[in-house]
Each structure stands twice: as C-alpha cells, then as structure tokens.
C-alpha cells in the first residue's frame, strides 16, 4: 500500500482518540491501555480481542519513544527492568499460548477478556485513587524490605503484569508504577516512571506480536491511532509541568470505575 492510499484509509475518529489518550499519557504517564481499549470496544464496537491486540502494539510504539527519552536522561534503572521482565516475558508467552488454546474468537475467550479487563481497570482505578494512602499504610506496616525479598517481589509483579497486560492491555502504567513505588520507596520518581515505561516496551511488544500471530491486530486502525497520539504525547509532555497531576489522576480513576462497571455487565 502506497503513501497516498495509506492517507485515505486514516480514520479521523481514531486519530482523535489517539490525540485524547496520547495527551493524557503525556500528562500523567498512565491511562494508555486503561482508556484506549475501552474506547475501541465501547465507542467503536471493536471485538475485544482485536482492541487489546491493536492497543498492545500501539503501546509498544508510543512507549518506545518515551523509553528513549528516559534512557537519554538516565532515568531508567535497568536492574529493575530486568527483574520485571524476568517475570513478565515468560508469563506473557504462556498467556498467549493459553489464548490460542482457548480459541481467540470463542465466546469463552471473549468473556475472559472482558472480565479480566474490568478487573484490571478496577485495580488501576484503585491504584490511582489510593496511591498516597497505600504508600503511607505500606510504610507504617511493612517499611523497607530485605533486598532479596524486593527482588522476588519485583519478579512476581512482572509476572502478574504479564498476564493482565496480555489479556487486557491494562496495568503496565498505573499498577506497575504503584507497585514499584511501594517496593522501591527510596528510588526517585523519575526513575520509577522511566523504569516502568522501559519495561512496558518488551512486555507490550511481545504481547502485541503474539496477538498479531493470533490475527487480532487491525493495522490500519493502529496507524490512525498513532497519527493522533504521537504528536499529542510530545506536546503534552512539554506542558506536563503546568498540569495538576492529582486532579487528572483522580478524574481518570473515576472514568475507569465507570468503564469497569460497564465491562462487568458486558455480554
């Protein structure tokens, strides 16, 4: 397909969705999978498996750009990224195999995807709503853990994210960042975010490629989403210092709860 033909296939509504989600991710660092997948399913009527698969490749491309910026600024802890990947990569592969075994177009698989998606959205909303109270409770009740325990808990976090993200495309941002904040309380916030973004690249890429093999990626829709999201992420990232992170975070959490309820009763 040549360039002019590609332009004619760009859907303005998908571009606008990309702008919305890209701007939100640029401001807060979270909300990509949490919003893009529900938008594709609920507003555009995309099959849940196709929405998840397309969003995963969309996330891998957008977060590659973010990871490059963080890497240039030295705000990635590659040891933490490696620990997360040690858990997420094998669990992502196993989850893709499970989806293949169940049959990606079966009613059972569609039900699994929508229910796991609603559960992941609920976890993401809780993580956004209660991040600060959870941190204070964790600090009072548990405090700093032995380094060996932190290592294994990080691997376990990666494994959980591998399953959740592969099935629902949700969790790499909100849940991942919250878990890292609890496990590494002394790590600067920039390195927490940078490490989470860097880990999301191989996770979403592997999961996205797996979905591509399963035939659940719409590449024309993917291009339209990227046309909107890539410039929006850049602009929003520049303006992020002027935004109220707390206000945006709470608003996003409210939206996720509403979407979660809608998915729970989706048949």
Torsion, Cα 213 215 220 223, to 10 degrees, reads: -40
Pairwise CA distance, residues 73 & 237, whole Å = 14
Residue 154, helix vs strand vs coil = helix
Question: What pLDDT, on a 0 to 100 scale, did the predictor assign at position 238?
Answer: 64
Pairwise CA distance, residues 143 & 125, whole Å = 24
Question: What pLDDT, on a 0 to 100 scale, did the predictor assign at position 197?
Answer: 86
Question: What pLDDT, on a 0 to 100 scale, did the predictor assign at position 15?
Answer: 94
CB atoms within 10 A of CB 78: 12
Pairwise CA distance, residues 114 & 129, whole Å = 22
Pairwise CA distance, residues 37 & 173, whole Å = 14
Pairwise CA distance, residues 194 & 164, whole Å = 20
Pairwise CA distance, residues 258 & 50, whole Å = 22
Query: What residues have CB less than 8 Å from 127, skipping those under 6 apart?
Result: 134, 174, 175, 177, 178
Question: What pLDDT, on a 0 to 100 scale, did the predictor assign at position 93?
Answer: 96
Token reading at 267: 């048949």
Give how far Cα 263 sits from Cα of 37, 111, 168, 184, 207, Å. Answer: 11, 10, 12, 33, 22
CB atoms within 10 A of CB 238: 10
Question: What pLDDT, on a 0 to 100 scale, did the predictor assign at position 193?
Answer: 81
Nearest to 122 by CA among 157, 166, 165, 170: 170
Q: At what angle do helices 48-73 and 147-168 cross, to 10 degrees?
A: 140
Q: What are phi and psi of 104, to 5 degrees?
A: -65, -25
Pairwise CA distance, residues 152 & 144, whole Å = 14
Question: What pLDDT, on a 0 to 100 scale, did the predictor assign at position 245?
Answer: 59
Domain boundaries, the chain: 49-264
Question: What pLDDT, on a 0 to 100 scale, did the predictor assign at position 239?
Answer: 64
Token reading at 56: 């995963």
Walking along the chain (267 residues) 10 residues at a time, the average pLDDT comes out as 61 91 72 82 90 92 82 89 97 94 81 82 78 76 82 96 91 83 83 87 94 92 91 72 60 69 61
Token reading at 182: 């609890």
Token reading at 113: 């995807």
Pairwise CA distance, residues 48 & 196, whole Å = 25
Token reading at 62: 């957008």
């Amino acid at each position: 397909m040549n360039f002019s033909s590609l332009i004619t296939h760009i859907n303005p509504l998908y571009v606008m969705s990309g702008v919305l989600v890209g701007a939100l991710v640029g401001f807060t660092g979270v909300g990509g999978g949490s919003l893009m997948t529900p938008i594709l399913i609920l507003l555009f009527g995309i099959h849940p498996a196709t929405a998840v698969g397309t969003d995963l490749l969309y996330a891998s491309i957008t977060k590659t750009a973010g990871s490059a910026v963080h890497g240039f600024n030295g705000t990635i802890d590659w040891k933490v990224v490696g620990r997360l990947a040690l858990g997420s990569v094998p669990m992502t592969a196993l989850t893709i195999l499970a989806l293949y075994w169940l049959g990606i177009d079966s009613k059972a698989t569609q039900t699994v995807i929508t229910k796991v998606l609603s559960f992941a959205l609920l976890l993401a909303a809780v993580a956004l709503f209660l991040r600060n109270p959870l941190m204070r409770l964790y600090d009072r009740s548990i405090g700093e853990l032995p380094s060996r325990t932190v290592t294994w808990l990080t691997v376990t976090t990666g494994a959980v994210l591998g399953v959740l993200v592969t099935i629902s495309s949700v969790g790499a941002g909100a849940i991942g960042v919250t878990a890292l904040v609890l496990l590494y309380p002394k790590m600067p916030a920039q390195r927490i975010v940078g490490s989470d973004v860097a880990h999301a690249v191989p996770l979403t890429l592997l999961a996205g490629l797996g979905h591509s093999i399963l035939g659940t990626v719409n590449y024309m829709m993917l291009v339209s989403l990227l046309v909107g999201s890539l410039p929006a992420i850049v602009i929003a990232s520049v303006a992020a210092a002027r935004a109220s992170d707390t206000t945006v975070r709470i608003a996003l959490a409210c939206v996720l709860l509403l979407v979660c309820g809608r998915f729970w009763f989706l048949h």
